[in-house]
Amino acid sequence: YIIEYVKSLRQEAWQLLLSQEPTNDDLRYIIENVKPLRQEAKSWLYPIIVPQTLEQIMSEIKQLA
């Protein structure tokens, strides 16, 4: 769910950005800075997502047993 939500936010952000007709320099600046921000978001979300995912897997295994 979180991954799909983030993807939709990313698409919305790009549409909004492109609607403002950015220059090539604007786009280069954004692309250069997205990767560090993505890494920061990953380090923040990883502890939240992984335990939930493991919890879901264990729950599904118990249901199958």
pLDDT tens string 17-51: 889 999 999 888 888 888 788 788 777 777 666 66
Q: CA-CA distance, 28 to 64, in Å (whole number)?
A: 50
Q: Which two tokens stand for residue 9?
A: 């936010």
Residue position matching structure tokens 């403002």: 20
> Rounded mean pLDDT of 56-65?
77
Give the predicted TM-score (pTM) of the model.
Answer: 0.44
Residue position matching structure tokens 């090539």: 24
Contact 17, 33 (CB under 8 A): no
